[in-house]
């Protein structure tokens, strides 16, 4: 089958407006769809980031103290609270904390190898807790050891205390000591004294998920500090398997039984990780859904537009089709004619679309510091739009191919 390209091009010159409109629509659709797919993929990748937490069984209590007290009194209360929590039948373990993975933002320190280094090597999320932290989160200790109870120090309100020992994530260990022998080495995290790495966990997410955290993904350190801030503390609690609901019910009651001079917000004071994850990835999920809807509707509208215009052309050219048929063109020749015509228009549109897609992506890169789009998305987009064009043309083209040769004889 030889494709009648020259006659198609000649015919298209008589339909300049329609041709340009379809090509333009395909180009714009390609530009938007590629970028939307890219955004969707990036956002879904965020949603599936590992936290390092045993999420089905862990929940967090945000506990605020009602009145200011000296650090020693706060510490006594925190210790009593933790004891009460750990004794609950549905609870496996509990730990104090100044922040938790996927909290949405929190404490981070710059890291250096020497105290007088002015340009920090990197940034690390800072968690503070006791020897129960790793078991409570369900995090995996991959090297070294956990903290000993006697290593845990007390940190009062807004105190900058640097413990001599630290547990770091594998990501931070590799960043500081690329050789892989981080255990036993020490570094500075904005303190006057160094901290020596005694253990390595992997993985453990940072508190934040915002764009600037990406450069420091997975980099976190844990200091053996009980954060006895006079204003409040987080209690992280790990329920026994399958007893999350019971533990979440019992825990606040147990705390109020210890003391009523505290505030646990009835609305969001106790949150499981499903809720935490849902909240922190709000905008990622929203963007993915929005882009998904726009993609789907856009493709549908473009396809419908092609069907509409091609149908119009078929209607306009019934006589010419009849003449061709009368002169010996087969049905499949007519079908091939329209499919080829659409392919030529789509190809032109797609070429322009690739330029627009890359331009739009570059704009988002400079404007919003997004990543560069891989050309694979453009490839997929091109393929989708070419197929869409052919699919949308098929029905009208089939109708055209059924035009009877007798139409040629009518009223010309």
Partner 1 sequence: MLAYYFHLGLRSLRRNPALTTLMVMAVGFGVAASMITYSVFRAVSGNPIPDKSAQLFIPQIDGWGPQQNQKGEPAEALTYNDAMALLRAHEAKRQTMLYPVQLAVLPDGKRDLPLNASGYAVGSDFFAMFEVPFRYGGGWSLQDDDARAADVVISGELNQKLFGGANSVGRTIDLGGHDYRVVGVASHWNPRPRFYDLFSTSGFADEPDFYLPFARALDLHMYTGGRNSCRGELSFTNWTDYTQSNCVWITPWVELDTPAEVASYRSFLTHYAAEQQRAGRFNWAPNVRLRDVAQWLDHERVVPPESRISLAVALGFFLICLVNTIGLLLAKFLRRSGEIGVRRALGATRREIYTQYLIEAGTVGLAGGVLGLLLTALGVGGVGVLFPPQIAKLAQLDASLVGLTLAVAIVATVLAAFYPAWRAAHVQPAWQLKSS
The SS3 assignment for 403 reads: coil
Beta bridge partners of 65: 262
Q: Which residues ranging from 21 to 50 are in contact with partner 1 (CB under 8 A)?
A: 21-22, 24-25, 28-29, 31-32, 35-36, 39
Do 200 and 143 contact (CB within 8 A), yes or no? yes
Measure the CA–CA gap between 56 and 274, rounded to whole angstroms.
8
Measure the CA–CA gap between 229 and 291, rounded to whole angstroms.
43
Do 122 and 219 contact (CB within 8 A), yes or no? yes
Measure the CA–CA gap between 222 and 249, rounded to whole angstroms.
29
Binding mask 180-199 for partner 1 (x = CB under 8 A): --------x-xxx-------
Residue 159 contacts partner 1 per CB under 8 A: yes
Do 22 and 351 contact (CB within 8 A), yes or no? no
Total residues interacting with partner 1, rule: CB under 8 A:
68
As measured in angstroms, the least distance from the Cβ of 290 to partner 1 is 5
Q: Which residues ranging from 266 to 325 are in contact with partner 1 (CB under 8 A)?
A: 282-283, 286-287, 289-291, 294, 297-298, 301-302, 304-305, 308-309, 311-312, 315-316
- Residue 134 or 276: the one with the smaller Cβ distance to partner 1 is 276
As measured in angstroms, the least distance from the Cβ of 135 to partner 1 is 30
Q: Which residue from 261, 274, 275, 359 is in contact with partner 1, where contact means CB under 8 A?
A: 261
The SS3 assignment for 225 reads: strand
DSSP assignment string, 83-120: HHHHHSTTEEEEEEES--TTSSS--EEEEBSSTT-SS-
- Residue 21 or 141: the one with the smaller Cβ distance to partner 1 is 21
- Residue 138 or 252: the one with the smaller Cβ distance to partner 1 is 252
Residue 16 contacts partner 1 per CB under 8 A: no
Contacting range for partner 1; rule: CB under 8 A; set: 92-100, 153-161, 201-209, 389-397:
153-161
Binding mask 319-358 for partner 1 (x = CB under 8 A): ----------------------------------------
Measure the CA–CA gap between 154 and 228, rounded to whole angstroms.
7
Beta bridge partners of 128: 223
Helices 282-316 and 318-326 cross at an angle (nearest 10°) of 60
- Left if phi > 0, otherwise alpha if psi is -120 to 50, otherwise beta: which for 93? beta
Residue 161 contacts partner 1 per CB under 8 A: yes
Measure the CA–CA gap between 59 and 240, rounded to whole angstroms.
12
Measure the CA–CA gap between 243 and 238, rounded to whole angstroms.
9
Q: Which residue from 1, 48, 260, 366 is in contact with partner 1, where contact means CB under 8 A?
A: 260
Q: Which residue from 160, 178, 215, 328 is in contact with partner 1, where contact means CB under 8 A?
A: 160
- Residue 290 or 344: the one with the smaller Cβ distance to partner 1 is 290
Place of tokens 């200091």: 223
As measured in angstroms, the least distance from the Cβ of 181 to partner 1 is 26
Contact positions toward partner 1, by CB under 8 A? 17-18, 21-22, 24-25, 28-29, 31-32, 35-36, 39, 64-68, 110, 115, 118-119, 156-161, 188, 190-192, 211, 231-232, 260-263, 265, 282-283, 286-287, 289-291, 294, 297-298, 301-302, 304-305, 308-309, 311-312, 315-316, 360, 364, 367-370, 411-412
């Amino acid at each position: 089958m030889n494709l009648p390209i020259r006659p198609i091009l000649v015919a298209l010159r008589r339909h300049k407006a329609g041709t340009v409109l379809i090509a333009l629509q395909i180009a714009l659709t390609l530009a938007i769809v590629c970028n939307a797919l890219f955004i969707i993929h990036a956002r879904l990748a965020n949603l599936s980031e590992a936290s390092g937490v045993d999420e089905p069984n862990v929940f967090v209590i945000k506990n605020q103290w009602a009145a200011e007290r000296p650090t020693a009194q706060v510490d006594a209360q925190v210790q009593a609270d933790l004891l009460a929590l750990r004794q609950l039948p549905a609870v496996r373990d509990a730990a104090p904390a100044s922040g938790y993975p996927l909290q949405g933002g929190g404490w981070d320190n710059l890291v250096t190898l020497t105290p007088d280094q002015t340009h920090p090597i990197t940034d690390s999320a800072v968690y503070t807790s006791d020897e129960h932290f790793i078991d409570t989160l369900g995090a995996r200790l991959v090297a070294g050891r956990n903290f000993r109870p006697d290593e845990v120090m007390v940190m009062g309100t807004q105190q900058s205390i640097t413990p001599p020992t630290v547990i770091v994530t594998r990501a931070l260990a590799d960043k500081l000591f690329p050789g892989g022998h981080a255990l036993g080495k020490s570094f500075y995290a904005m303190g006057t004294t160094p901290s020596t790495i005694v253990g390595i966990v992997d993985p453990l997410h940072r508190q934040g998920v915002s764009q600037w955290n990406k450069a420091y993904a997975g980099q976190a350190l844990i200091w053996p500090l009980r954060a006895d801030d006079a204003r409040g503390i987080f209690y992280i609690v790990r329920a026994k398997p399958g007893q999350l609901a019971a533990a979440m019910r019992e825990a606040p009651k147990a705390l109020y039984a210890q003391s009523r001079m505290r505030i646990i917000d009835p609305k969001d004071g106790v949150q499981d990780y499903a809720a935490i994850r849902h909240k922190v990835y709000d905008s990622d999920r929203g963007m993915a859904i929005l882009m998904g809807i726009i993609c789907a509707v856009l493709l549908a509208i473009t396809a419908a537009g092609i069907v509409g215009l091609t149908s119009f052309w078929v209607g306009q050219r019934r006589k010419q089709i009849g003449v061709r048929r009368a002169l010996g063109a087969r049905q499949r020749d007519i079908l091939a004619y329209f499919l080829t015509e659409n392919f030529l228009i789509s190809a032109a549109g797609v070429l322009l679309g690739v330029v627009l897609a890359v331009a739009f992506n570059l704009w988002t890169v400079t404007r919003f510091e997004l990543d560069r789009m891989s050309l694979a998305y453009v490839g997929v987009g091109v393929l989708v739009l070419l197929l869409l064009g052919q699919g949308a043309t098929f029905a009208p083209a089939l109708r055209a191919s059924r035009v009877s040769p007798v139409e040629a004889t009518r009223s010309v």
